[in-house]
Structure 1
């Protein structure tokens, strides 16, 4: 079973109809197409609702299944839409859009702190990146100012695709030390921030992002924490 990832073509799609392919043994629902993003790459799975003739089911989260399936996890044991039924998917858009804002902000954080990334996590209000950073930054306020300056440039965020071989030939595109982009599928998605001479970032990513950095709004760098001998965690928060 393979689910078409509708969020890939349009991360701003908030509702869509699809058909139920199967119910999983764990109580999940597999659709033939999904507006819901599944947990991955540090970004949480989407939540929302499924609505069909005679029923409504809250979706708590979304995860990856086997063979390209995307599994919607109900918030509670309730009547599920029957296999074969046409269902309207309604995304919790406010939560998703905040994930998108945080995710793009973290890409920009990796620009103002040009060090290898050892981990990361995205939330609806805040996010963090872990860096291979032996010494603390000399001026956190200056980093925050540089990050917000990039956001305020309202740079365009786009995607492009390269082959596995092209990625292998350009290892510098990969900023993460602990997680490698998925290979073996023939191509890899790159997220670009800025255009032409104004490009500031280009890296492999499977998550959802805002269309322009101006959508992020002002962010603050909350703290820098030491995490191990060489690692430091930098946390950011959306101002609103």
Structure 2
């Protein structure tokens, strides 16, 4: 299995690696990677793979049915042979946008404490779908509350619990549409704030900023009705 370097350091933008496999569809599997694979509403990373005097553009990153992290070239091309040593470089601007938006969406689920039925992350905006029969009365008040949380510059950290501990604390899971991956025996939790200042704790496999202050100011966009019980709330980076 590929070593997930982004799990240890979400700010690592470049790393050496070795090609360990090709997929039938033309993807590349490395022994270790800084590229996050599509999952949990967060898109797969893009960037560049280079070896010798050659390079290729990576359009996105996905997980194979077997769980491998697969880098997908932007165009069909000759792949570096298995065993080749390569350098992988993230499109950092895009990834960092995902990190800022992803963390902001966790905070959005704090200021709107309702079950989440879906979500999507982009480099400049994102959205959460809520089990919300009626639209919020005061969008500006929610925006102010969200920006106040961000401005506290809270630490974002992780902890791990067992699957049994998660089953004993079902309230940790806010998302109705995406359940935490199970089968490995342990679950990653992302915490925002520490001690008495903790504001959020929920299962998540994505990448996040280290402190909420890195998000910058945000604004809430349109709120759409999506079915009888659902409202879609858009969030935009404001700088």
TM over 0.5: yes
- Residue 80 of structure 1 aligns to a residue in which SS? coil
Q: How does 1:42-61 map to 2 (within 5 A)?
A: 42-61=41-60
Cα separation, 1, equivalents of 2:177 and 2:93: 30
Residue 112 of structure 2 aligns with which residue? 113
1:20-50 deviations in Å (ceiling 9; x for gaps):
0111110100101111000000000000000
Cα separation, 1, equivalents of 2:163 and 2:129: 26
Moved more, 61-70 or 191-200: 61-70
Cα separation, 1, equivalents of 2:60 and 2:37: 8
> TM (normalized to structure 1)?
0.98
2:39 corresponds to 1:24:
no
Gaps of 5+ in 1: none
Displacement after TM superposition at 1:66 (Å): 3.6
- Residue 67 of structure 1 aligns to a residue in which SS? coil
Displacement after TM superposition at 1:54 (Å): 2.8
Moved over 3 A (4+): none
Cα separation, 1, equivalents of 2:227 and 2:65: 35
Cα separation, 1, equivalents of 2:66 and 2:230: 35
Residue 68 of structure 1 aligns with which residue? 67
Gaps of 5+ in 2: none
Residue 123 of structure 2 aligns with which residue? 124
How many residues align? The count is 239
2:165 corresponds to 1:191:
no
Displacement after TM superposition at 1:79 (Å): 2.3
Q: Is the 8 A contact 1:57 1:79 kept in 2?
A: no
Residue 100 of structure 2 aligns with which residue? 101
1:67-119 deviations in Å (ceiling 9; x for gaps):
33100000012221111010000000010000000000000000000000000
The CA RMSD measured in Å over matched residues stands at 0.7
